Homo-oligomer: A and B are copies of this chain.
Amino acid sequence: MNRRNTPTKEAVLSLLSSSKKALSQDAIERQLDIKINRATIYRVLNRFCEDDLVHRIVAEDGKQYFAICKKCEPSEKTKYHFHFRCLSCDTIECLKIPVQYSIPEGYEVQNANCVLTGTCNDCSL
């Protein structure tokens, strides 16, 4: 399935690139200059995830948030990192903290979704 370049794709990727926070579909739709259909945004995002351009975070609110993988090297060591959700400013950000665990025998980990919740630095003043 070959990918095609479209204004929609570029707009969403550009927005994610310039954002310091992970964004939900909702937030993306609101922040975009052009009007893009909801289903389309989801499809674009899902494609980005498939292509490992973007990673998906599921927060405690059950919603999906998307963030660009800038420094997310697929190096086995720092494969997964924590995310932080601030209950005060309601933003989700990537923390440069590797997820460490020792999995029991026989288990195989394919993905990790780790979200810490609380108050961020900006809001704790």
Q: Residues of A at under 8 Å CB distance from B?
A: 58-64, 82, 84, 87, 95, 97, 99-122, 124-125
Residue numbers in B under 8 Å from A84 (CB-CB): 103, 107
Is B106 in contact with A117, judged by CB distance below 8 angstroms? no
CB-CB under 8 A from A116, the residues of chain B are 101, 103, 107, 109, 111-112
When distances are taken between beta carbons in the complex, the residues of chain B under 8 Å from A104 are 95, 121
Q: What residues of chain B lie closer than 8 Å to A64, measured between beta carbons?
A: 62
How many Å lie between the Cα of A49 and that of B78 in the bound state? 33
**Would you list 6 pairs from A and B whose C-beta atoms are within 8 A, ordered by A residue?**
A60-B111, A109-B117, A109-B118, A110-B117, A110-B118, A112-B115
